[in-house]
Copies of this chain bind each other. A is one copy, B any other.
Amino acid sequence: MMNMTSRMMDTAMSMPGMDMTAMNELVEACSACEQACTLCADSMMMTDGMGKCAAMCSDTADMSNTMMRAMLRPTGYDMNSMMAMMQATMTMCNACADECMKHADMSEQCKMCADACRQCAMAAQKMMDTMKSMMPTA
């Protein structure tokens, strides 16, 4: 599947100076994060006392999906909007990973979800670094 999306992105976009590898990695990381967070939230709904974790995972699933879709709409790229979204993705993924890690030894779901969140935060950070390096210095 990822090969298909990656090929489609290559076909769709010719964005001078944009790092297509970093973009592809962020799309993949967001997709994995949304899935892991949705599964983890579901699992936590069944576990007493895990409401905060379930709600944070639900928020992070939504944010990851929103970030992923925005990456897949190159026609609408707006630098400030992308940077603010990446910042939000990074912040939420790290907060969600911190929460999940609190009970990672009790739940395999939380451990895998925390990993996916960290990966996504790192991919967003990397993309932000790439974009900053492209921007003209004032």
Contact = CB atoms under 8 A, between A and B. Distances in A.
Contact of A12 (B42, B72, B73, B99): B42
Nearest to A32: B1
**How many identical subunits does the complex contain?**
4
A52 B45 CA distance: 8
Given A45-B51, A84-B92, A112-B7, A59 B38 contact: no
A36 interface: yes
A43 B85 CA distance: 22
A38 B72 contact: yes
Interface of A: 1-2, 4-5, 7-9, 11-12, 27-28, 31-32, 35-36, 38-52, 54-59, 61-63, 65-66, 68-70, 72-76, 78, 80-81, 83-85, 87-88, 90-92, 95, 99, 108-109, 112-113, 115-116
